[in-house]
Chain A
Amino acid sequence: MRQITIGLLMLIFSLSFVTAQSDDDLFGGNDDDLFGQSSSEDSLIDETEESSESLDELLLIDDEGIHIGGSFNLGISTSASMDPSDTSSTDDIQWDLTPDLSASLYFDARPSSDIRIFGKAVIEYPFTVQDDDTTTIMIDETRNFDDIIYIKELFSDFNVQDKLFFRAGKQTINWGVGYFFSPADLLNLTEIDPEDPDAELEGPLSVKMNMPINSHNLYLYTVLPEGIEDPTDLVFAPKAEFVLGSTEIGIGAYYRYEQAPAAMFTFTGALGDVNIFGEGVVKYGSDKTFVVKSGPTYDLETYEDKLFFNATLGASYTWSSEVSDLSFTTMGQYYFNGEGYSDPEILGSSAGSAYAKTQIATGNLSINDGMNRSKHYGAANFSITPVQDLTLSVLWIGNFTDFSGIIKPGLSWNITDYISLGMNLPYAYGDAGDEYTPISDNLSFVLEISLGGSSF
């Protein structure tokens, strides 16, 4: 009996060693250098001497005075486009090759913990502008010096008693929450490009005041539009962000003398694993000029005392496999454009289109007035990563009124850290004169290679 008991004890001890065998090395078996040789559990614990430096303060000061950084990008893309309805000849295939060389450079100066000055400039190829001298090469008749080198951001951050935070200068403004469309973003100088929704937007010269109250935030933007000469040209845009449970709600307004005032509402939250977001905007009047039918001809019309409502609703979902690198992300968004035409044929018909072009040429109508001419739009993206460094995606953008749109399947492959390859096959579908097919439907093949891109 005694032998059986001793045998059982030995068996139990042996089993406990076997179960932990694979990680024994880490805890004192053979990896003593890493895990110490003492069998005392106190060898696990270091009496930590707390850091004497305040990390949060350190982040706000740069002992070296100024930090310089930036990014470099070189891409070469070639594309072939054709009218898919005409397959009789390959002569109609349009070939194109475009180099894309750009770099950004920023400085970040933090002379003390309560102020910093930041600036970011971008330089883009080709480094040539339009010139009256006919001996020079004219790359692009519309290209100016500020298309080659321009200031993306230049601002200062400071605060009043750590309660009221200011950002003053040229800055990108974080205003709307939409991904493909953001009608609530009334302040940035550029709109989101649905085909490149992650691209950085260009913001205006403005002063942002931010007062955090627990997890909520109050903002007041004062925007100085380009060419401002009079205090009445100033734009005022207050906004409040409230956190309710796991939902963030934003309420804001936009006011500029003699322009359409607007009120906006945004929200972001989640339904289970699905992230949702939405925006609503009410404008009293529109800053757009509209083409209207006037009997057999056309005329221009503005609306200063009519309510316009724009809204968008979207959702996104990401799934990743527990057993492989497989993952996918899908995102969809609907956009109701209250400033769109009930009958977009007004601009789509040959007569309407010709009238609009004439008015643009004479300066009575801007190109922006003809953008987003429909009332209903949608966009969606589905991307899947079957293995690391390879992503397959399909992007769709559509006009629900004339049923034209773009569908763009593609793939991107990071061959090495500094070489990547992209291919996509955009197809613009619809009838001639529709928003996405002004001439005819069109199929393209685009091959892009990126070399040596990096940040520093």
Chain B
Amino acid sequence: MKSKILTISIVLISLSSALSALTVQEAQEKLSFIDEQSNFDDLDFSAVMTMISEDVETGIEKNVIQQFRRDSDDKFLMLFQEPAVQKGQGYLMIDDNLWFYDPESRKFSHTSMKDSFGGSHARNSDFGESSLSEDYRVLSVAEGKLGKYEVYILELEATNNEVTYPSQTMWVTKSNFLTLKTEDFSATGRLLRTSLFPSYGRVGDKFMPTKMIFRDELIEGNKTQLSITDLSTRDLPDTLFTKAYVERVNR
């Protein structure tokens, strides 16, 4: 009797495992789902980000940044509030154009989405609309656990050279495809950065990571922690995503 129960249990576990397994094709489709649930297609989004960067050489630095997004029009605006030396600096993105505003020279200059964000271990591309399904193809899918969470582990390869990282490994929860962790690799396959997303906020039917940890894998001890507060999806004025607004709010 005991052996029958054990056999049935094993069969059920195996069946359950087989049923929950994703094919590469299905995982590719899930990338679109991940994009959809983290993008605010029909809504404006605003939040306050507090970024604490730990650098083994320069110590701890704190930045406070206001973030505004309108994903439906491919627009975002990031404004530095702290520290004082960076107050007024801003990044404005409209379609394919990203401007950096320097309040000292009062000049707007084009900059690349790949650039480091404010000297931290985060990148400009970490803050825009998610476009995983466009930028990456799934190479393989595995199942696993990350801490107490059942996850799919997706290996991704870039489909274009516009992305910051040529390949990534992602840990996403099985139940609702929230990204818990990514490992970002160079073209040569070297691990450059690990990103961790230990908490999310639900805004309507959308999910936004409210805590992110970016760990530099090249220099041990270097990391950046991002906390997001004051989330809002209330409508933003059209004039917010303009150079005029950036100039008005700076010092």
A residues in contact (CB < 8 Å) with B? 2, 5-6, 9, 16-17, 19-20, 23-29, 34-35, 39, 41, 44-48, 50-51, 53-56, 59-60, 67, 69, 106, 108, 116, 118, 157, 159, 162-163, 165, 167, 171-174, 198-201, 210, 212, 215, 217, 243, 245-246, 248, 268-270, 273, 275, 318, 320, 322-325, 388-389, 417, 454-456
Known: A56-B46, A172-B106. A46 touches B234 (CB 8 A): no
Q: Which residues of B contact A454 (CB under 8 A)?
A: 85
Interface 1/0 per residue, B215-245 and A, CB below 8 Å: 0001100000000011111101101101111
Q: Which residues of A contact B55 (CB under 8 A)?
A: 388
Q: Evaluate contact between B243 and A217: CB separation under 8 angstroms.
A: yes
Known: A34-B198, A60-B248, A200-B104. A217 touches B232 (CB 8 A): no
Q: Evaluate contact between A46 and B201: CB separation under 8 angstroms.
A: yes
Interface residues of B in 126-168 (CB under 8 A from A): 143-149, 151, 153
Interface centre among A20, A171, A246, A455 (most CB of B within 10 A): A20
Q: Evaluate contact between B243 and A41: CB separation under 8 angstroms.
A: no
Q: Is B196 an interface residue (CB 8 A)?
A: yes
Interface 1/0 per residue, B18-57 and A, CB below 8 Å: 0000000000000000000000000000111000000101
Q: Which residues of A contact B231 (CB under 8 A)?
A: 48, 50-51
Q: Evaluate contact between B234 and A16: CB separation under 8 angstroms.
A: no
Q: Evaluate contact between B198 and A27: CB separation under 8 angstroms.
A: yes
Q: Evaluate contact between B251 and A275: CB separation under 8 angstroms.
A: no
Q: Which residues of B contact A323 (CB under 8 A)?
A: 186, 190, 192, 218
Q: Which residues of A contact B190 (CB under 8 A)?
A: 322-323
A116 and B250 CA atoms in complex are apart in Å by 11
- 23 A-B pairs within 8 Å (CB atoms) are namely A6-B6, A20-B147, A20-B151, A23-B146, A27-B148, A27-B149, A35-B147, A41-B175, A44-B149, A44-B178, A45-B199, A45-B200, A46-B199, A46-B200, A54-B234, A56-B240, A106-B251, A165-B239, A275-B110, A320-B116, A388-B58, A389-B58, A455-B84
Closest chain A residue, CB of each to CB of B192: A322
Q: Which of B106, B115, B200, B245 contacts A44 (CB 8 A)?
A: B200
Q: Which residues of B contact A215 (CB under 8 A)?
A: 94-95, 97
Interface residues of B in 188-225 (CB under 8 A from A): 190, 192, 194, 196, 198-203, 207-208, 210, 213, 218-219
Closest chain A residue, CB of each to CB of B87: A69
Q: 18 additional contacts, CB 8 Å, given A53-B230, A323-B218?
A: A19-B144, A20-B171, A24-B146, A28-B147, A28-B149, A35-B147, A35-B199, A41-B149, A44-B173, A46-B199, A48-B202, A55-B46, A67-B251, A162-B237, A200-B104, A210-B244, A268-B109, A325-B219
Q: Which of A9, A25, A46, A201 contacts B202 (CB 8 A)?
A: A46
Interface 1/0 per residue, B102-116 and A, CB below 8 Å: 001111111010011
Q: Evaluate contact between B249 and A5: CB separation under 8 angstroms.
A: no
Q: Which residues of B contact A17 (CB under 8 A)?
A: 145
A171 and B97 CA atoms in complex are apart in Å by 26
Q: Evaluate contact between A20 and B244: CB separation under 8 angstroms.
A: no
A51 and B145 CA atoms in complex are apart in Å by 34
A439 and B84 CA atoms in complex are apart in Å by 45
Q: Is B71 an interface residue (CB 8 A)?
A: no
Q: Is B79 an interface residue (CB 8 A)?
A: yes
Closest chain B residue, CB of each to CB of A268: B110
Q: Evaluate contact between A55 and B230: CB separation under 8 angstroms.
A: yes
The minimal Cβ–Cβ distance linking B195 to chain A, given in whole angstroms, is 11
A320 and B115 CA atoms in complex are apart in Å by 9
A41 and B173 CA atoms in complex are apart in Å by 8
- In the A-B complex, the 6 residue pairs with the smallest Cβ-Cβ separation, listed nearest first, are A27-B147, A48-B201, A28-B148, A28-B147, A212-B242, A16-B144
The minimal Cβ–Cβ distance linking A241 to chain B, given in whole angstroms, is 8
Interface residues of B in 51-108 (CB under 8 A from A): 55, 57-58, 66, 68, 79, 84-85, 87, 94-97, 104-108
Q: Which residues of A contact B151 (CB under 8 A)?
A: 20
A212 and B204 CA atoms in complex are apart in Å by 31
The minimal Cβ–Cβ distance linking A49 to chain B, given in whole angstroms, is 9
The minimal Cβ–Cβ distance linking B30 to chain A, given in whole angstroms, is 16
The minimal Cβ–Cβ distance linking A329 to chain B, given in whole angstroms, is 11
The minimal Cβ–Cβ distance linking B106 to chain A, given in whole angstroms, is 5
Number of interface residues of B (CB under 8 A): 83
The minimal Cβ–Cβ distance linking A191 to chain B, given in whole angstroms, is 14
Q: Which residues of B contact A273 (CB under 8 A)?
A: 112
Q: Evaluate contact between A16 and B143: CB separation under 8 angstroms.
A: yes
Q: Evaluate contact between A23 and B106: CB separation under 8 angstroms.
A: no
Known: A6-B10, A201-B105, A322-B192. A39 touches B110 (CB 8 A): no
Q: Evaluate contact between A198 and B105: CB separation under 8 angstroms.
A: yes
Interface centre among B85, B115, B147 (most CB of A within 10 A): B147
Closest chain A residue, CB of each to CB of B206: A48
Interface centre among A25, A41, A171, A456 (most CB of B within 10 A): A41
Q: Evaluate contact between B180 and A27: CB separation under 8 angstroms.
A: yes
Q: Which of A19, A23, A201, A320 contacts B196 (CB 8 A)?
A: A23
Q: Which residues of B contact A6 (CB under 8 A)?
A: 6, 10
Closest chain B residue, CB of each to CB of A16: B144
Q: Evaluate contact between A388 and B146: CB separation under 8 angstroms.
A: no
Closest chain A residue, CB of each to CB of B75: A215
Q: Evaluate contact between A23 and B200: CB separation under 8 angstroms.
A: no
Q: Evaluate contact between B251 and A212: CB separation under 8 angstroms.
A: no
A235 and B146 CA atoms in complex are apart in Å by 66
Q: Evaluate contact between B10 and A5: CB separation under 8 angstroms.
A: yes
Closest chain B residue, CB of each to CB of A166: B244
Q: Which residues of A contact B10 (CB under 8 A)?
A: 2, 5-6, 9
Q: Evaluate contact between B202 and A45: CB separation under 8 angstroms.
A: yes
The minimal Cβ–Cβ distance linking B47 to chain A, given in whole angstroms, is 8
A348 and B231 CA atoms in complex are apart in Å by 65
The minimal Cβ–Cβ distance linking A118 to chain B, given in whole angstroms, is 8
